[in-house]
Amino acid sequence: MKRLEGKTAIITGAGAGIGEATAKLFAAQGAKLSLCDVAEEQLGKVVSDIKAEGAEVVPVRCNVADEGDVKNMISTTLEAFGKIDILINNAGITRDTLTPRMKEEDWNLVIDVNLKGSFLCAKYALAKMERGGKVVNTASIAVLGNKGQVNYSASKMGVIGMTRTLALEYARKKICVNCIAPGAIDTPMLQSVPEKMREAMIGKIPLGQAIAPVEIARAHLFLSSDEANFITGQTLFVDGGMSIGI
Ligand SMILES: NC(=O)c1ccc[n+]([C@@H]2O[C@H](COP(=O)([O-])OP(=O)(O)OC[C@H]3O[C@@H](n4cnc5c(N)ncnc54)[C@H](O)[C@@H]3O)[C@@H](O)[C@H]2O)c1
């Protein structure tokens, strides 16, 4: 029995990295997928890979920080599949630099995409979500503090607060809202970190290596499945022990 048979899932930022890995795992587990990204060409490749495996999938060009785009993503999903069971709020960006050099526009952009974008997707997906629905948000190991990421760590700490509040507000509808906090995951986002810093980060992982995106996809799968029906408001660190070793 496939673990997401009969479920419809929206995954944001599905064109690369963790979102792509999650889309592929969810498709293999029987989910119907609405996949969103700003990078249409990248998303197109992921969608054709998944279609080739026989899964039902709809691509949507959507900037999660744009309310009109998010509303369109929700209505496109409902037109295609008639319901929404799962939202994986995965799209996220970094604009790293130390505080004295951080421009207001870099602060605003990161907060807009990571925090407001997650809020908008959650707000409009939850409004249409079935009883028993699941939302999985994305924080980061950076919530513990990371030099050069004042905007990013603040946005991700905001996501944790949002997760706890949404969990309380939607519990009466038996909808669970949780959050994953990835450590150093081997994706284009991690590749964009200067090599010296990347090596230093990986050196802090007790389990000894950067984590493959599929490991986060597996945590998404668990928190999106009926096996997690009584877990809500939680943040799960998937970080090879980095958060306890820091
Ligand atoms: N890679 C890591 O080490 C790591 C660590 C902690 C947390 N995270 C978080 O995990 C999530 C996924 O990260 P990743 O490493 O796979 O990133 P990535 O950069 O490899 O992929 C992110 C995807 O999101 C898309 N995207 C960016 N802005 C968007 C927007 N406004 N609207 C829609 N799509 C948008 C990008 O086009 C890209 O396809 C992010 O929220 C990130 O902050 C990653």
Q: Examine the residue annotation and report whether 152 is marked as an active-site residue of this protein.
A: yes
Residue 169 Cα distances to 15, 67, 109, 184, angstroms: 31, 21, 27, 31
Find the residues whose C-beta lies inside 6 A of ligand 1.
12-13, 15-19, 36-39, 42, 62-65, 90-93, 113, 117, 138, 140-141, 182, 184-185, 187-190
Contact 186, 210 (CB under 8 A): yes
Burial class (CB in 10 A: 0-12, 13-18, 19+), 49: middle
Mean confidence (pLDDT) of the chain: 97
Q: Which atom of ligand 1 is nearest to the CA of 117?
A: 31
pLDDT of 223 over the 80 cut: yes
- What b/e sequence results for 75-96 when a residue is b if at least 16 CB atoms lie within 10 Å of its CB, and e otherwise? ebbeeebeebbbbbbbbbbbbb
Residues 57, 58, 63, 66: is their CA dihedral positive or negative? negative
Q: Percentage of the chain with pLDDT > 70?
A: 100
C-alpha span between 210 and 207 (Å, rounded): 9
**pLDDT score, position 34:** 98
Model confidence over 1-41: pLDDT tens digits? 899 999 999 999 999 999 999 999 999 999 999 999 999 99
Give the start-to-end residue ranges of the domains of the chain: 8-182+213-235
The pLDDT confidence band at residue 246, using thresholds 50, 70 and 90, is low
d(CA 1, ligand 1 centre) in Å: 30
For the domain with range 8-182+213-235, which CATH number is right: 3.40.720.10, 3.40.50.720, 3.40.50.2300, 3.40.47.10? 3.40.50.720
- What b/e sequence results for 25-38 when a residue is b if at least 16 CB atoms lie within 10 Å of its CB, and e otherwise? bbbbbebbbbbbbb
Q: Which atom of ligand 1 is nearest to the CA of 182?
A: 6
- Return the structure tokens found at 66: 């744009």
Model confidence over 61-75: pLDDT tens digits? 999 999 999 999 999
Q: Which of 69, 141, 187 to mutate to test the pocket of ligand 1 (most atoms within 8 A of CB)?
A: 187
Query: Which is the catalytic residue, given 26, 81, 119, 152?
Result: 152
The residue written with tokens 């407001």 in the block is 116
